[in-house]
Amino acid sequence: MSAQADDGHCPAYGERLRLDELLEIAQVHENPERALFFGAHQACEIWFAVVLRHLETARRDLTEGRGAEACAHLDRLPRIMEAVAQHFDALHALTPEEFDVVRATLGTSSGFQSVQFREIEFLCGARDRRMLNIAGLTDRDRARLLARLDEPSLDDAFAAYRDRAGEDVKRVQDAMVAFDAAMRSSRGRHAALAQALLGGVAGTAGSSGAAYLWRSMERTLFPQLTQGVHSDDC
């Protein structure tokens, strides 16, 4: 049962999670409304990092012909996206008036500039190059996105795997479709949140706000895959 390191020191919970450092930099020290707003965003960014690690691993598994292993990683993603969506739901606890006070301090900053979110899209295969020109991205953000464009997408990796008649093709396809659906559902919960808090007002990044987010539900993460799967949906 002992998890002691060789030097006999067993890091306690807070130490293992580096909670002192994490909570020092987390934006949860201001008033309760700002703590809720920024805490939810930072929590989502941690989840986005977790999603990226799963997608990278699944892509490597597919490239190396391991469909079942890829599924094991992809199958976790709908639940993770549900956790992200629950952060959107939690923000309904803010009234439009409380949100307005927070919003007045945001300037043009917006989740629209989330580089990890764009990395998820680019890594999957949804590669809208206009996203490279989003105002507010740093040179480092842009370099990360350009690097993603140089890599094969998960969509590409799946197409190659399917063409090699890999085993588990159907299972992998179902897992990718389930992740795409979970992303779409979280986009819907995000749109409903923006609708409730912003009404018809534009977003801080200058988009049409809730209308932009509702429209984003039409997007797919996997253009090649869904062409085959949903060809009769349009």
Q: Point out which residues bind ligand HEM (CB under 6 A).
A: 40-41, 44-45, 87, 91, 99, 110-112, 114, 117, 190, 193-194, 197-198, 203-207, 209, 212-213, 216
DSSP string of 59-97, one letter each residue:
HHHHHTT-HHHHHHHHTTHHHHHHHHHHHHHHGGGS-HH
- In whole angstroms, the minimum distance from the beta carbon of 173 to ligand HEM comes to 24
Q: Please, which residue, 173 or 226, has the CB nearer to ligand HEM?
A: 226
Q: Please, which residue, 124 or 213, has the CB nearer to ligand HEM?
A: 213
- In whole angstroms, the minimum distance from the beta carbon of 148 to ligand HEM comes to 15
- In whole angstroms, the minimum distance from the beta carbon of 187 to ligand HEM comes to 6
DSSP string of 104-171, one letter each residue:
TT-TT--GGG-HHHHHHHHHHT---GGGGG-TT--HHHHHHHHHHHHSPPHHHHHHHHHHTT-TTHHH
- In whole angstroms, the minimum distance from the beta carbon of 175 to ligand HEM comes to 22
Q: Please, which residue, 34 or 171, has the CB nearer to ligand HEM?
A: 34
Cβ proximity of 160 and 138 under 8 Å: no
Q: Please, which residue, 72 or 201, has the CB nearer to ligand HEM?
A: 201
- In whole angstroms, the minimum distance from the beta carbon of 151 to ligand HEM comes to 20
Exposed (0-12), middle (13-18) or buried (19+): which is 189, by Cβ within 10 Å?
A: buried
Which residue reads 């307005």 in tokens?
A: 100
Q: Please, which residue, 172 or 198, has the CB nearer to ligand HEM?
A: 198
